[in-house]
């Protein structure tokens, strides 16, 4: 069977007045290629195109990017909230809901985990340094692909099982927002030492998982565990593709 197609949501990057367009970091693409998937960057789109994305792709990665507009979790922006792209938020919230409704695998990464939490009714910490007591350094000074702090995996989580029942792992960190109120449909799978939720899983739908760190960059840098994460996600997409072809 042919490789599964994975849609990777993209933001908009403006390089200068003459150059700009849909953007997702190359590490997402490289990690998916290595795992055996065909990655496709998905520009923000209207409903009719979104439905084509749902039709074409066997799974989705909700990628990193700007902050989520606080209005989607019924809050006003704090002084420390960063740039947000409301059109992308609308698009990704609906894409997540549609993809989950039809049972397609979804992996949320960094902002993507926050989008999933908001889509299911949760809220966000708008700025960790000013809202969390004794925070860790969540915007690391190390290179993107290098781990900077440890997280504790919950013993009974699917993520811990995937990572060979490890209790603690080291991850990279490039975010200043995080989950505040956890959505009812989610359960935490990992925490950092300052209490930040570092991974979540859907309570009922095994195809939905998300992490706060950037496994795509650690995978490219050689992390065996993060390569397992992408291989497992790609296998879920392959299984969906096979099941759909048999209908």
Active site residue 131: no
Among candidate residues 92, 198, 201, 216, the one labeled active-site is 216
Report the 10 Å Cβ neighbour count for 197.
23
Among candidate residues 138, 149, 202, 214, the one labeled active-site is 214
Among candidate residues 110, 138, 201, 202, the one labeled active-site is 110
Active site residue 214: yes
Active site residue 206: no
C-beta of residue 12 within 8 angstroms of C-beta of residue 85: yes
Burial class (CB in 10 A: 0-12, 13-18, 19+), 173: buried
Q: Where are the beta strands (DSSP E) in the chain?
A: 5-9, 11-16, 19-23, 38-42, 59-62, 106-109, 124-125, 149-153, 168-171, 178-179, 186-192, 197-202, 208-211
**Kind of pairing, strands 197-202 and 124-125?**
unpaired
How far is the first Cα of the chain from the last one, in angstroms, to the nearest whole number? 15
Residues taking part in catalysis: 110, 214, 216
């Amino acid at each position: 069977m042919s490789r599964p197609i994975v849609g990777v949501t993209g933001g908009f990057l403006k390089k200068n007045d003459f150059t700009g367009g849909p953007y997702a970091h190359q590490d997402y693409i490289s990690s998916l290629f290595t795992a055996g998937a065909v990655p496709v960057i998905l520009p923000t789109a209207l409903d009719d195109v979104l439905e084509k994305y749902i039709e074409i792709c066997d799974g989705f990665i909700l990628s990193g990017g700007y902050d989520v507009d606080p209005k989607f979790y019924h809050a006003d922006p704090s002084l420390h909230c960063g740039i947000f792209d409301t059109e992308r938020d609308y698009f990704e919230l609906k894409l997540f809901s549609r993809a989950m409704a039809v049972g397609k695998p979804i992996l949320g990464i960094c902002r993507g985990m926050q989008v999933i939490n908001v889509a299911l009714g949760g809220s966000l910490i708008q700025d960790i340094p000013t809202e969390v007591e004794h925070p860790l350094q969540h915007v690391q000074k190390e290179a993107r692909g290098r781990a900077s702090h440890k997280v504790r995996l919950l013993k009974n989580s699917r993520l811990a099982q995937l990572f060979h029942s490890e209790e603690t792992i080291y991850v990279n960190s490039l975010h200043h927002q995080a989950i505040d109120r956890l959505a009812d449909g989610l359960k935490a799978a990992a925490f950092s030492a300052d209490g930040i939720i570092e991974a979540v899983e859907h309570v009922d739908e095994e195809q939905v998982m998300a992490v706060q760190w950037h496994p795509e960059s650690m995978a490219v840098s050689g992390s065996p565990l993060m390569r397992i994460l992408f291989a497992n996600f790609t296998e879920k997409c392959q299984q969906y593709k096979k099941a759909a072809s048999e209908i």
